[in-house]
Structure 1
Amino acid sequence: MEKNVDFQGASSRHFRDAELLMGNKRISNAGHLFGFAAECGIKALLVAYGLETDSSAGDIMEKRPYRYKTHVNTLINNVQTFPGSRQYSKYLGMMPNLKAFSDWNTGHRYWNESAIPLSCSGWRDAAKEVLQMLDQAKLDGVIK
């Protein structure tokens, strides 16, 4: 992994910040960060299984036809097709609520707050599963 790209650290950082916002009733922005926390955590797993990063873009390198260089609302549909280890399935199974992000969108940052889906608690739960998966992958030695 490139030095500038730290998906695991970014995942943790976004989740902590989202929790602070949630605690201060800033639900819309908390939800936004829960999505980024999950996205970064999933990408940390993909990198652990061999996807390369691009430090200039700050993301993973696209590997067609799989489309992993995308945001969580699309990524959750594409991670099911990751080619590789059977052990990967173990970690995927630890995140059963990823579909909660199907109504999450980066465009929410532009929306009227009243129009943003009321899904923040589901996004939080799914992001928490991603962080727990990362903890297990670290214990297993998959992620350094």
Structure 2
Amino acid sequence: MPDEDVRAQDAVMEQQYALAGARHYHDAVYLCDDQRWPTADHLFGFAAECALKSLLLRFAVHDVSTYRNGNAMNRARWVNPRTGKEDWLGHINQVLGAAPLLAYGRGGPAFVEAVDRLNVFASWDLADRYRDGRQVSDSVVAGRQEAARLALSLYELCELTGRTS
């Protein structure tokens, strides 16, 4: 598949991730208002994950793609610069490892500092949806809500400026 077709597909996925991130965030806020912390926490994690994946697909074009060997994949993959190995872009606690791919140029350090604030998701776990919810408190959710809002704001800023730094 020609590179322009791959980039066009990645652009579609980038937009879908961005829209999904906003939707997950708004649903999570609704659940917070109802004090349904575990599910709100879950959706804030998805919101931040989608915002970062969207940024990675747009700005880390040489390291992240939804295509391999000319074939479409249902999930984005990235090349870890530390290991040189390809891996899936998983959920937010895994996507955080790929975030440094976005930091380059003069604004790189400031971008890294902002992304570091997303580390509140390092202990976020997809399997929490099967637990009784006692491990999620309103204070944990408040921190993750702020981080998800930051991730979406970073996406919006990069969308407006056309760059990450």
Tell me the TM-score normalised to structure 1 length. 0.82
> Which whole-Å CA distance do the structure 2 matches of 1:15 and 1:76 have between them?
18
**Which is strand-richer, 1 or 2?**
2
1:128 equivalenced with 2:149 (yes/no): yes
- The partner residue of 2:136 within 91, 112, 117 is 117
- In the TM superposition, 1:1-144 aligns within 5 A as 1=10, 3=12, 6-49=16-59, 50=61, 51-53=64-66, 56-57=73-74, 59-64=75-80, 65=85, 67=87, 69-80=89-100, 82=101, 85-86=104-105, 89=108, 90-114=110-134, 116-118=135-137, 119-142=140-163
| 1:66 Cα offset (Å) | 6.1
| 1:56 Cα offset (Å) | 4.8
Aligned length: 140
> Which whole-Å CA distance do the structure 2 matches of 1:10 and 1:27 have between them?
20
Percentage of matched positions with identical amino acids? 24
> Which whole-Å CA distance do the structure 1 matches of 2:54 and 2:106 have between them?
15
Q: 5+ residue gaps in structure 2?
A: 1-9
- Structure 1 segments of 4 or more deviating over 3 A? 2-5, 90-93
* Equivalent pair of 1:67/1:78 in contact (CA under 8 Å): no
RMSD, aligned CA: 2.5
> Which whole-Å CA distance do the structure 2 matches of 1:17 and 1:63 have between them?
32
Q: 5+ residue gaps in structure 1?
A: none
